[in-house]
Amino acid sequence: MNAAVATLPAPNRKLPREDHIPANHRQFRPRKGPRNGSRQRNRQERGVADTESELADCVGAIYEAAAAGGDWESVGTRLCRLVDAQGAMLRTGDRGEASRNVMMRFDESEAIYLAYYHPLNPYLIQARRDFAEARTRHLTNVMLGPELVPEQSFLRSEYYNDFARHHARRHLLASLVGVTHAMPFGLFRADDAEPFGEKERRLLQALVPHLQRAVELRARLGQESQASWATRAALDVLPVGVAIVDAGLRIHFMNAASQKDLAHPDAGLRALRSGPYAAGGVYLAAQAKDAAMTLRRLVTSATSGQVGGSMRIVNRDMSSCAVLVSPAPQGLSADEATADGGGLAEKLAMVVVRDLGRVASPPPQMLCEVFGLSRAEADVAVALSGGASAEDVAQQRNVSLPTIRSQIRSILGKSGTENLRDFERSMASLAAIAPRGQDGR
């Protein structure tokens, strides 16, 4: 006992500091953790950050889909996950057209809807009425289902009883987007799920303006694509060759006439798979060295803001063609920039090629329609083009010379020209606007 007491420290003796006590002899002192309120705030902050991340993901998917680089179905999947919905809808059909829902995979329920229930959908009927009567007030405004159609009216409708309640479309959170026509947009929940509330409305309200801008972007891209198609189609019917090239002579576009002319083995101007650069593509190349230097100089001038110029190309068979190089219209440069991925519009040159030995004459049917010529008179007029004499035409057609002369007087009278030279100028003007291939050329 005395030995045990002797080991205790005296009451007035100082206790050793904690850093002098061996680690295995120190007492455990629990650290104070965060309070419950702090933990709750952390969870809330993490939830807000996750929601903002999902919103940003939805916005990116919407614009990607509008620019044709993404999938509208993936947008629908993201939106359903964001607000815990079981279905999404965006219908792009014009006016009464029953267009497919682009935000969901086509399945049996969609087939049933399009086959019968589309015109019976009370939400759709109301959406189109709102778009027609008060477009600016309803556009991008997010509404709950009962705010669009009274609850009792909806529950009594054939649409709900025979279709919606069987396909998880009981509760609706909807908005309206569109440019020229109403495009209903909505998210659905089934009967056994809770109705959408203010929280889901706020989330969707943050996204709908982006969806509207994406729809406008989609419409604009469609118009530009249509304008580009129309431009190319117009160039294809021209009787002269037209090519669009950049400063390195790489060909961005060739119309039908230039594709035929530049592919001829005797042509002094060719479209070749190899060119001044080894990066690939098709390049415009003059066969003669001097002509190649002149062509490059004219294209450089046209693509650097100057006027370009003209030159003559001699073919291998000693025929020749005229070449006009000028700056490409700004619209064509913009179209090519869009086709190549949407970068800045590159300065391009337009190269027009015309065979100098080709006789320009419109088809006989055109002469009959424009000047009121008979078919025989139109055939004589075409035969006279290029400087042939009345005697030559009479011999070609195996008719008498007085008959040909009588037909020539009739042609000049009907066309309002004084002599054959004036008439040939009219013929050349008509040939310039005649669609390529209409006369078999």
Q: Which residues pair with 253 in a beta bridge?
A: 244
Alpha-carbon distance 38 to 6, whole Å?
50
pLDDT band at 65 (very low <50, low <70, confident <90, very high): confident
pLDDT band at 194 (very low <50, low <70, confident <90, very high): very high
254 backbone dihedrals φ, ψ, rounded to 5°: -135, 135
Q: Quick check: 37 pLDDT over 70?
A: no
Q: Which residues contact 262 (CB under 8 A, 6 or more apart)?
A: 241, 243, 254, 269, 270, 271, 284, 353
Q: What is the pLDDT of residue 332?
A: 61
Specify whether the CB–CB gap between 385 and 359 falls below 8 A: yes
Q: Quick check: 440 pLDDT over 70?
A: no
Q: Quick check: 89 pLDDT over 60?
A: yes
Find the radius of gyration of the CA atoms of the chain.
39
Q: What is the pLDDT of residue 88?
A: 94
Q: How confident is the model over 206-261, as pLDDT tens digits?
A: 999 999 888 888 777 665 555 566 667 777 777 788 999 988 888 888 888 888 88
Q: What is the pLDDT of residue 83?
A: 93
Q: Which of 35-49, 202-216, 279-293 has the lowest mean pLDDT?
A: 35-49
Q: How confident is the model over 309-361, as pLDDT tens digits?
A: 999 999 888 888 999 999 987 766 555 544 444 444 468 899 999 888 776 67
pLDDT band at 27 (very low <50, low <70, confident <90, very high): low
* pLDDT, averaged across the chain: 79
Specify whether the CB–CB gap between 214 and 90 falls below 8 A: no
Q: How confident is the model over 385-437, as pLDDT tens digits?
A: 767 788 988 988 898 999 999 999 999 999 898 888 888 888 888 887 776 55
Q: Quick check: 2 pLDDT over 50?
A: no
For the segment 46-71, the average pLDDT, to the nearest whole number, is 80
Specify whether the CB–CB gap between 119 and 131 falls below 8 A: no
In the chain, the percentage of residues whose pLDDT exceeds 70 is 77
Alpha-carbon distance 102 to 343, whole Å?
28
For the segment 54-76, the average pLDDT, to the nearest whole number, is 84
Alpha-carbon distance 336 to 340, whole Å?
6
Q: What is the pLDDT of residue 101?
A: 86
